[in-house]
Amino acid sequence: MNSGFPVNGSTTVQLKEASSGLRFFTPDYFQAVEESLSQSVDWIDESKDLDTTVLFTASDLPRSFLLTVKNRESKIREVGPQTQADFSFEGMYELWVKIARGELRVEPAILTGKLKFKGSWFRLLQLRNKLDSFISCIRLVQAEV
């Protein structure tokens, strides 16, 4: 999915004007993502009747965040990398930067082995629109990398 946001080589995830000094893949960053989710009409619609957990891990930091979605309510908190989740994605920090910038899609990153995935591949494909909506919300949060 191409969100239409410009992609450039700067050290800032290219999105909208937001909090200055916000660092990518930190608790403050994911708090801003949570706020973005709560304001996104697309995400609110996509998360209707959704009850799932998703673990995002930057293996080289190491740092992990758990997204919990239940009936349009989304919460993100920092957790350990061994936390159980319906879906788990693990990759290097720079890979997450590329995904956030729109330079790389999740599915090709999984298929090429750059992003490790645990969970039901079939269910992930069924939830593709929801995943795309989530990634779009990530791209709305400006952060330094």
Give the tens place of pLDDT for each residue, 30-65.
999 999 999 999 999 999 999 999 999 999 999 999
Determine which of 7-16, 50-59, 128-137 has the lowest per-residue pLDDT on average.
7-16
Residue ranges per structural domain of the chain: 17-144
What's the whole-number mean pLDDT along residues 122-145? 92
Q: What are phi and psi of 59, to 5 degrees?
A: -65, -25
Measured between alpha carbons, how far is 5 from 136 in angstroms, rounded to an integer?
9
Rounded to the nearest integer, the mean pLDDT of the chain is 87
**What is the per-residue pLDDT for 20?**
58
Q: Is the pLDDT of residue 1 over 90?
A: no
**What is the per-residue pLDDT for 10?**
35
| 66 pLDDT tier (thresholds 50, 70, 90) | very high
Distances (CA, A) of 49 to 55, 74, 141: 19, 12, 25
Measured between alpha carbons, how far is 5 from 111 in angstroms, rounded to an integer?
24
CB 131 within 8 A of CB 124: yes
pLDDT above 90: percentage of residues in the chain: 81
Q: What are phi and psi of 24, to 5 degrees?
A: -65, 145
Of 55, 132, 57, nearest to 92 by C-alpha is 57
Query: What architecture is domain 17-144?
Result: 2-Layer Sandwich (3.30)
